[in-house]
Amino acid sequence: MACETTVILFKPDAIEKRLTGKVLSRFEEAGFVIRGIKMMQLDDTILREHYAHITHLPVFPALLAFMSRTPVIALVLEGEDAIARVRELLGPTNSLTAAPGTIRGDFGENMMINVCHASDSTESAAIEIRRFFKNAEVFGF
């Protein structure tokens, strides 16, 4: 197993439903270490960059509106096989197919309103860390 870092974004539904503490505790209980955390308002520029792979889809305007509805909380988590393990804790992107006991299965509503974004690869994680955090905002102990 490799020690990895991953990015989590607590989406507006998590903020509005006050789920961040519950969800964050699940990550910590699973052994992940917080290396960076902050609240930020995502603007069109960063959202278009982050979702560049789907800006052409009809759902994109709704996603843009949703993700800018409230500030998000961004995290950098570290742990053994963090990317796969975090995604396992979250469950599938579509909350309607997520099993009970997963974060999305317990708190999500659908494909978009699904509590958290998580990096899907080590390459994505590296890009997303640079996108959402300055070097001085990520800490190693």
Catalytic residues, which ones?
A: 117
Rounded CA-CA distance 83/130 in Å is 16
Closest CA to 51 of 131, 105, 135: 131
Residues counted in the chain: 141
Rounded CA-CA distance 64/67 in Å is 5
